[in-house]
Structure 1
């Protein structure tokens, strides 16, 4: 891929594919106290997210298998290492940024995990997905996707150490020429949103089909 044409990587191709596949079984990790989720809590989580009841219960089961022993799931937290070790995130080139954006102080509460799964669900609205995609690609967190951010995104998407400086420059320039409407060499949120809204592939790529082992 490192030798491909820059035209093959458009701005909307920056959508990270996060496909978490379900796998049965535990694996020697501690478990929370097996408190069942109250019906009222399940109803509230469903009202506040884009997740179905079955998806919420699946996430709950996964969380129980990963969290420390002896704590109720509402009080327990997971480390970013635990979350990034989930099968699909483990090989995702943006797993560190995804964990950074959705965690708080580098740990995940159950509600943090629910929030992440909700954003990547098929039912989540485009505006929410675009908002979080922008935050993930804003590596230096300056409120823009600038040349520095774009270069990092392209390098991760190409997944190769053998990327020439010329190709890297050509690709980032191509993205900016398509989407940088005010010609300031960076993408504001509104410019990024405009580019993503025109993408037929973004909604399909920025989603989770299953959450679990």
Structure 2
């Protein structure tokens, strides 16, 4: 790695960009299609250049630190990309994860209790630092 022979040529970059336009084909992979968060993950990588896509994938690698992994999880929850995770953001993810197994009322009760136990309220907005603190406890 790092030698001239491992550098991408302009042709390679254009070819990778061409393939990246077909990200939604990942949904044909059963393991990915069955993941309740697959649409959120696709939204996160849609439009990334190759460098950013590789950086995104590196968070799933064995050498990624816990804070790096938590940052990706934070971005999954922060669907409007405003840098904050609200009660409603959490409810949306919980809805994706639980489907029809829980009612909206059950989701709200569980999440409200969890937020209280972590020292937050329904009106709280979690920043990345808060999210790391909650996940490392």
Question: How does the TM-score come out when normalised to structure 2?
Answer: 0.75
Distance 2:94 2:81 in 1: 17
RMSD: 3.0
- DSSP-derived class of the 1:73 partner: helix
Shift of 1:162: 4.5
For residues 79-158 of structure 1, what are the structure 2 equivalents within 5 Å? 79=21, 80-104=23-47, 109-158=49-98
Of 73, 95, 108, 1:169 maps to 108
Could you say which residue in structure 2 is the equivalent of 1:186? Answer: 125
CA distance in 1 between counterparts of 2:124 and 2:75 reads: 18
Structure 2 segments unaligned to the other structure (5+ residues): none
Distance 1:183 1:155 in 2: 16
Q: How many residue pairs are counted as aligned between the two chains?
A: 132
Deviations 1:99-118 (A, max 9, x none): 222332xxx55434422321
Structure 1's unaligned 5+ residue stretches are 1-36, 46-70, 199-213
Give the structure with the larger strand fraction. 1
Distance in 1, matches of 2:128 and 2:11, equals: 39
Q: CA deviation at 1:73?
A: 3.0
1:73 to 2:6 alignment: no
Q: Could you say which structure has the higher helix fraction?
A: 2
Partner Cα separation in structure 1 for residue 56 and residue 27 of structure 2: 12
Normalising by structure 1, we get a TM-score of 0.52
* Partners of 1:75 and 1:109 within 8 A in 2: no
Could you tell me how far 1:74 is from its partner in structure 2?
A: 1.3
The secondary structure found in structure 1 opposite 2:14 is: coil
- Cα deviation 1:157-206 (Å, max 9, x = unaligned): 21x225223211112102311334477433222211101223xxxxxxxx
